[in-house]
Structure 1
Amino acid sequence: MASVSPILLPDNGDPGFGVYVHWPFCAAKCPYCDFNSHVRREPVDQNRYVAAFLKEMETARRLSGPRTVTSVFLGGGTPSLMDPETVAAVLDGIARNWHMPDGIEITMEANPSSVEATRFRGYRAAGVNRVSLGVQALNDRDLKFLGRLHNVEDALKAIRLAREIFPRMSFDLIYARPNQTVAEWDLELQQAISYAVDHLSLYQLTIEEGTTFYNLHKMGKLIVPDGEASADLYEATQEITAREGMPAYEVSNHARPGAESRHNLTYWRYGDYAGIGPGAHGRLSNGRAKLATETERKPEEWLRLVETRGHGMTVQDTLNIGEQADELLLMGLRLKEGVDLARWQMLSGRDPDPDKEDFLISLGFIERLGNSRLRCTPQGMLILDAVVADLA
């Protein structure tokens, strides 16, 4: 496998502070999706949800204290179902609660089926400067299989519009689809890269409990590539993207040097972030203490909670030092740059277990980068969960 190290945005020890806002509504539920997304037949009262977002932000601000926002991410669901005025009101609310410098990364997820030029220009005017498109496949057969509402023509139109209107763009593809070969994926991936995007998120199709695909798979009606075939597709993904100048900087994320997602790096470098909206998670620090937050998943119940008590949080757990150190490993080992050992040692108060580390090094699953960082090898990335479980 090709080994190319991207030039990451520098890890200066301050992973930043992000704000994540979750819009939980979709036009349809995809059969593979286990995200907190909901379909509603009646129009959503966007003004009411905006008021609730703003109220929950005030609670998050009290927990976080004064912070400087380094990135914002509007996720879902399908945030591109929001009116541009709704997006503008949400961003204004973030700026009222925290310091929000000009020019920071502000990303919005969008589905090609809900894209039109006037809405995109409205989002850009509201302050969005990066869009992430849920393309998922570049052939109509697989788009239909994945339950997407758009076709390839829609996807290409959305990509062209995004390139025209936004300074930065990414899009998602799903691979390891039934009967997919490495040769087919090679051609599709090269096509994707040719559209001059600076960032791609490339996810293996996984069968998640509670989804339509899970039920079909359980009944034997959906057959996905086995472990060896999936590993071949993963390795091909790394080789193709590295060859084309868009190497992996995280397990599933690829970027041209300097175009990595600032918001996602905040997660993986174990920074703080406020989670706003139904089903959002957050990590908020106050001194050495770190608070893990979760909100009510059902949109209408979340709305009721916010309107009656000022927030929809159902979990506010203070993480102990050991839990924080484990989370730092869990997130940091996803990155090509690995984990900052000095930060891990300062947080945990100890060195990594030398016997476990030596054993995993001997198997070729992890490696040291001098004395400062620990990272997974390409082989270790294939079994990342097991590596983290051994080290944590």
Structure 2
Amino acid sequence: MAVAPSAGASASPQTKPAASLQPLALYIHWPFCVTKCPYCDFNSHVRGNIDEEGWKRALLADLAHEAEATRGARLTSIFFGGGTPSLMAPDTVAALIEAAIRHWDAAPDLEITLEANPSSVEAARFLGFRAAGINRVSLGLQALDDAALRLLGRPHDLAQGLAALDCAQRIFPRVSFDLIHSRPGQTVEAWEAELARALSFGTGHLSAYQLTIEPGTRFETLARKGLLDLPEEEAAATMFERTAELCASAGLHAYEISNHARKGEESRHNLAYWTYADHAGIGPGAHGRRGRRATLRHRRPEAWAEAVARHGHGIEEEAFVPPAVAAREALVMGLRLAGGIDPGLFHARTGLPLAGAVDPVARQRLEVLGLLAAGDRLRVTDAGRGLLDAILAELAAPLEPGSRSAT
């Protein structure tokens, strides 16, 4: 039975008032893809035959284990990621949503996102996903150019992508899509034109990522051989800056380094990661941070499924996260946000005060340079957004064993 989550949809036996429940984001990983993109280092796999009923049972078991481990939590978001979750049957998605709402107290505005690839076959499933309870879709368009799509190894062409976007906007209350800039051979002018076209579609959220060459990918092999004509660093930096400017002019503010949204359209699930809130992850390779404990599930799909069959869950490692490690993770995530890091929330979620987790000398110097904003919140300025890695390396120095304060 498909459901649309609402305030009365939860059958969870919680007894605490909703306001006192710990917020929890749930990530569900579907690891299978039709093809492996040459730039992708995600935990995705191509398989000829998939026993979907078996996978559904295993995911439901893994989910039940996480629910038992997070009693007293309030579910604020569900995110189906991958891989390609839109390859799942809508009935499988519905069963997982129903189980999540049964196990946890669900927020009345529960955000339920599904990542989708825009092939025409998967777009035909959108009505089924909506009936299952999906209320937000993140569409992997990646480019608005057929040659670029072929270069990126995408299994769709531009016509299929635009048709899927149109279909998604008619069916789902909230739609986001991804684009990749700084692609081989791309100029600043070409990216500006492509982005302007993307913004004309009127979606409330856009993720625009710079192409990075990740270890172990086919693109890394090509780059090592000098066979990728990547833009110069200055051109890539200009594309990054122009992305924020053009999105802002269209009413989509850069609330995170690579994510732009109208007010109220921000991804609540991703905000849980970026603010270091508790999150449970199920499925192959999924990570979790809950109750100051880190969980990591078996990465290879078959190993994960075997572990679930043996133990009732797919966890490979589970360990307490020391405050210093939690603080470093929270810094890495929180500084990506335009609003920066709230000191009270940081302390509550890491066990360390924000002032004690950063190098005060480095912080003062970075404020003088205009790369950090002055004030209680730790926030990168517009000028510092493109230098985030260098800023983090200085600020987090006290958290590194044997490190000295910057001078």
User: CA deviation digits over 1:163-189, x for unaligned, max 9?
Assistant: 110000000000001121111111111
The 8 Å contact of residues 21 and 74 in structure 2, kept in 1 or not, is answered as: no
Confirm or deny: 8 A CA contact 1:278 1:296 kept in the other structure: yes
Mind listing any 5+ residue stretches in structure 1 that lack a counterpart? 1-11
- The Cα of 1:67 is off from its aligned counterpart by 1.1
TM-score when scaled to structure 2? Answer: 0.89
Residue 305 of structure 1: aligned partner = 307
User: Could you report, residue by residue, the CA deviation over 1:267-294 in whole angstroms, capped at 9, with x for unpaired residues?
Assistant: 1011011100001011101xxxx01111
- In structure 2, distance between residues paired with 1:174 and 1:296: 29
Displacement, 1:258? 1.2
Alignment map for 1:278-357 (pairs within 5 Å): 278-285=284-291, 290-345=292-347, 347-349=351-353, 351=355, 352-357=358-363
- Please point out which of 36, 52, 58 is paired with 1:52: 58
Q: Hey, what's the Cα distance between the residues in 2 that align with 1:14 and 1:342?
A: 18
**Structure 2: how far apart are the matches of 1:265 and 1:14?**
18
Which amino acid in 2 is paired with 1:310?
A: G
Paired position in structure 2 for 1:4? none
Which residue of the other structure, out of 265, 268, 272, is the alignment partner of 1:259?
A: 265
The one-character-per-residue Cα deviations of 1:6-27 (angstroms, maximum 9, x if unpaired) are: xxxxxx9999310000000000
Deviates more, 1:195-204 or 1:317-326: 317-326
Q: 1:41 aligns with which of 15, 27, 48?
A: 48
User: 2:404 matched to which residue of 1?
Assistant: none
1:284-323 C-alpha deviation (Å, 9 max, x unpaired) = 01xxxx0111111100110000011111111212111111
C-alpha distance in structure 2 between counterparts of 1:345 and 1:130, whole Å: 31
| Identical columns (%) | 49
Matches within 5 A, 1:20-99: 20-42=27-49, 44-99=50-105
| Partner Cα distance (1:350, 1:184) in 2 | 42
Q: Number of matched residues? A: 374
Distance 1:229 1:118 in 2: 39
- Deviation of 1:227 after TM superposition, in Å, equals 1.6
Any conservation in 2 of the 1:274–1:281 contact (CA below 8 Å)? Answer: yes
Q: Name the stretch that deviates more: 312-321 or 352-361.
A: 352-361
2:384 aligned with 1:380, yes or no?
yes
Cα separation, 1, equivalents of 2:58 and 2:239: 43
- The aligned counterpart of 1:6 is none
5 Å-filtered alignment, 1:213-232, equals: 213-232=219-238
CA drift of 1:197 comes to: 0.5
Distance 2:393 2:385 in 1: 13
Q: Residue type of the partner of 1:38?
A: H
Q: Which secondary structure does the structure 2 equivalent of 1:315 belong to?
A: strand
Partners of 1:385 and 1:71 in 2: how far apart?
Answer: 29
Q: In the superposition, relative to structure 1, how do residues 357 and 172 fare at CA in structure 2: closer, same or farther (>3 Å)?
A: same
1:182 aligns with 2:184: no
Give the whole-Å Cα distance in 2 for the aligned partners of 1:345 and 1:208: 33
- Larger relative contact order (Cα-Cα within 8 Å, sequence gap ≥ 6): 1
User: Residues 359-374 of structure 1: matches in 2 within 5 Å?
Assistant: 359-368=365-374, 370-371=375-376, 373-374=377-378
Q: What TM-score do the two structures reach when normalised by structure 1?
A: 0.92
How far is the alpha carbon of 1:226 from its aligned partner?
2.3
Matched-pair contact (CA < 8 Å) for 1:14–1:271 = no
> 1:366: Cα distance to partner?
1.1
Matched, 1:142 2:148: yes
Call closer, same or farther: CA 1:137–1:350 in 2, change over 3 Å: closer
1:209-258 per-position Cα deviation (integer Å, ceiling 9, x unaligned) = 01000000011111211221111111111111111111210000000111
Please tell me the root mean square deviation across aligned C-alpha atoms, in Å: 1.7
Runs of 5+ in structure 2 lacking a partner?
Answer: 1-18, 397-407
